[in-house]
Amino acid sequence: MTRKKVKLAYITNDSSRKATFKKRKKGLLKKVSELSTLCDIKTCAIIYSPYDTQPEVWPSPMEVQNIISKFKMMPEMDQSKKMVNQESFLRQRIAKSEEQLKKQQRDNREKEMTQVMYRSLVGEGLQNLNIVDLNDLGWVIDKSIKEIDEKIKSLLEQQAVPPPPPPPPPPAAAAPSPQVVTITSHASRTTKQDMFNDEAAARSTNTDLATDSSQSQQWLMDLLKSNDNMGFGRNDDMLPYSLHTNNFWSNFPFP
Sequence spans of domains, the chain: 14-74, 116-158, 188-233+241-251
Taking the model in full, what pTM does it have?
0.40
Contact 109, 136 (CB under 8 A): yes
Query: Residue length, the chain?
Result: 255
| C-alpha 104: how far from chain center | 41
Q: Mean pLDDT over residues 117-126, rounded?
A: 89
The set of residues, in sequence order, having a beta carbon less than 8 Å from that of 120 and lying 6+ positions away, is: 126
Contact 43, 32 (CB under 8 A): yes
Contact 126, 134 (CB under 8 A): yes
Q: Tell me the residue type at 57.
A: V
Residue 58 CB neighbours (<10 A) = 19
- Alpha-carbon distance of 163 to 55, in angstroms, equals 77
Could you read off the pLDDT of 224-234 as tens digits, one per residue?
A: 555 444 444 44
Ranking 43-47, 84-88, 122-126, 162-166 by mean pLDDT, the lowest is: 162-166
225 phi/psi in degrees, rounded to 5? -60, -40
Taking 3-state DSSP, the helix, strand and coil percentages for the chain, each rounded to the nearest 5, stand at 60, 0, 35
- Name the β-bridge partners of 239: none
- Alpha-carbon distance of 18 to 50, in angstroms, equals 9
* Phi-psi label, residue 85: left if phi above 0, alpha if psi -120 to 50, beta otherwise: beta
Q: Give 58's Cβ-side CA count (13 Å radius).
A: 16
Q: Options 2.60.40.10, 3.40.1810.10, 2.40.280.10, 3.20.20.60; which CATH number does 14-74 get?
A: 3.40.1810.10
Could you read off the pLDDT of 3-44 as tens digits, one per residue?
A: 677 788 899 999 999 999 999 999 999 999 999 999 999 999
- The secondary structure element, H or E, covering residue 57 is strand 56-58
- Does position 127 have pLDDT exceeding 80, yes or no? yes
99 three-state secondary structure: helix
Could you read off the pLDDT of 175-193 as tens digits, one per residue?
A: 555 554 444 444 444 555 6
- Alpha-carbon distance of 114 to 34, in angstroms, equals 51
| C-alpha to C-alpha distances, 189 to 195, 196, 201, 202, 223, nearest whole angstrom | 10, 10, 18, 20, 50
40 phi/psi in degrees, rounded to 5? 55, 55
